[in-house]
Amino acid sequence: MKILRTMIAAGLLGLSFLTIQAAAQEKEEIARRIEGELMAPCCWAEPVSQHLSQIAEEMRREIRTMLAAGKSEQEILDIYVAKYGERILTTPPARGFNLLAYIMPWVLAVTGVVAVVVVLKRWLTLRPAESITPAVDDGYADRIDRELRDLE
């Protein structure tokens, strides 16, 4: 009976350890996702996840601290947007002028496809080369034939 209690206690301890480890991994994944969504404010060139600067390292620590304090991903992003503005986000929100960043690639792609179709149709409906050349006067054609025979 004592062995059974010990085994149950060990199993519960192991299960709780796995649960804690899974929660820690989930928070780490969320932290990395947040780091990828924020630009490093020192130069605005790379996301925090890739940037090698003191401020990026400080932001990585702050993100993990906020997650440990129970803040959600959106709350953390909102804190940084309030501090630095929307420029801090790697992907602009789809509203206002930023909406053009989402719409314009599709508009340009459709316009390009339409332009290619129109050009191809025009190329395919061109008349054969014979109809494009000007009509030659019969007298002129006879003269050319004579001159070509004289050259031989």
Quote the pLDDT of residue 115: 92
CA distance 8 to 15: 10
For the CA atoms of 95, 97, 103, 108, the dihedral, rounded to the nearest 10 degrees, stands at: 180
Helices then strands, counting H and E runs in the chain, come out as 6, 0
Quote the pLDDT of residue 128: 59
pLDDT, averaged in runs of 10, over the chain (152 residues):
70 63 79 91 88 91 92 92 90 77 88 92 72 66 84 74
Quote the pLDDT of residue 58: 94
For residue 97, give the nearest of 88, 86, 106 by alpha carbon: 86
2-91: CATH topology is: Helicase, Ruva Protein; domain 3 (1.10.8)
pTM summary value: 0.56
Domain boundaries, the chain: 2-91, 108-151
CA distance 20 to 143: 101
For residue 34, give the nearest of 84, 72, 82, 87 by alpha carbon: 72
- Angle at the Cα of 75 (from 74 to 76), degrees rounded to 5? 90
CA distance 83 to 78: 9
Quote the pLDDT of residue 16: 65
Quote the pLDDT of residue 129: 55
End-to-end Cα, the chain, rounded Å: 122
Contacts 24+ apart (CB under 8 A), 12-17: none
